[in-house]
Amino acid sequence: MTVEIRSAPHIKDDNGVVKIMRNVVWSLLPICGFYVWQYGLSALASLVVVTASCLAAEEFFLRLGRQSGDLGDWSATITGLLLALTLPAGFPLWMGAVAGFVAIGLGKAIFGGIGHNLFNPALVGRGFVQAAFPTAIATYTPSFLPARFSEFIPSSLALPFMTPADTATWVAGLNIDGVSGATPLARWKFEGVIASNWDLLTSISGHLAVGPSPLLILLCGAYLALRGYLDWRIPAAVLGSAALLAAALYPLNPEHYPEPGFVLFSGGLMLGAVYMATDMVTSPVTPLGMWLYGVLIGALTVVIRYSGGLPEGVMYAILIGNAATPMIERITQPKAFGTAPTKETRA
**Residues between 263 and 292 that touch another protein (CB under 8 A):** 280-281, 283-287, 290
Cα distances (Å, whole numbers) of residue 296 to 90, 149, 301, 324: 32, 40, 9, 9
**Residues between 55 and 94 that touch another protein (CB under 8 A):** 68-69, 73
Stretch that binds another protein, among 149-157, 185-193, 212-220, 336-344 (CB under 8 A): 336-344
For the bound state, the minimum distance from the C-beta of residue 327 to another protein, rounded and expressed in Å, comes to 14
145 touches 152 (CB < 8 A): no
Phi, psi values for residue 37, rounded to 5° = -60, -35
Query: Does 253 contact another protein by CB under 8 A?
Result: no
On the CB side of 346, CA atoms within 13 Å amount to 0
Task: Say how far apart CA 154 and CA 135 lie, in whole Å.
Answer: 15
Stretch that binds another protein, among 102-110, 127-135, 210-218, 327-335 (CB under 8 A): 327-335
Indicate the residue among 16 and 146 with the shorter CB distance to another protein.
Answer: 16
Burial 197-230, CB ≥16 within 10 A → b, else e = beebbbbbebbbbbbbbbbbbbebbeebbeeebb
For the bound state, the minimum distance from the C-beta of residue 198 to another protein, rounded and expressed in Å, comes to 35
Phi, psi values for residue 11, rounded to 5° = -120, 165
For the bound state, the minimum distance from the C-beta of residue 39 to another protein, rounded and expressed in Å, comes to 32
The residue from 4, 66, 150, 162 that contacts another protein (CB under 8 A) is: 4
Query: Does 25 contact another protein by CB under 8 A?
Result: no
Phi, psi values for residue 197, rounded to 5° = -60, -40
For the bound state, the minimum distance from the C-beta of residue 302 to another protein, rounded and expressed in Å, comes to 26
DSSP string, 214-259: HHHHHHHHHHHHHHTSS-THHHHHHHHHHHHHHHHHGGG-TTTSPP
Stretch that binds another protein, among 14-22, 180-188, 203-211, 260-268 (CB under 8 A): 14-22
298 touches 245 (CB < 8 A): yes
**Residues between 115 and 174 that touch another protein (CB under 8 A):** 115-116
Stretch that binds another protein, among 82-90, 124-132, 177-185, 334-342 (CB under 8 A): 334-342
Indicate the residue among 12 and 131 with the shorter CB distance to another protein.
Answer: 12
The gap from C-alpha 158 to its chain's centroid, in whole angstroms, comes to 25
Query: Does 10 contact another protein by CB under 8 A?
Result: yes
For the bound state, the minimum distance from the C-beta of residue 71 to another protein, rounded and expressed in Å, comes to 14
Phi, psi values for residue 230, rounded to 5° = -150, 140
Query: Does 236 contact another protein by CB under 8 A?
Result: no
Q: Which residues bind another protein (CB under 8 A)?
A: 1-17, 19-20, 68-69, 73, 112-116, 231, 280-281, 283-287, 290, 329, 333-340, 342-346
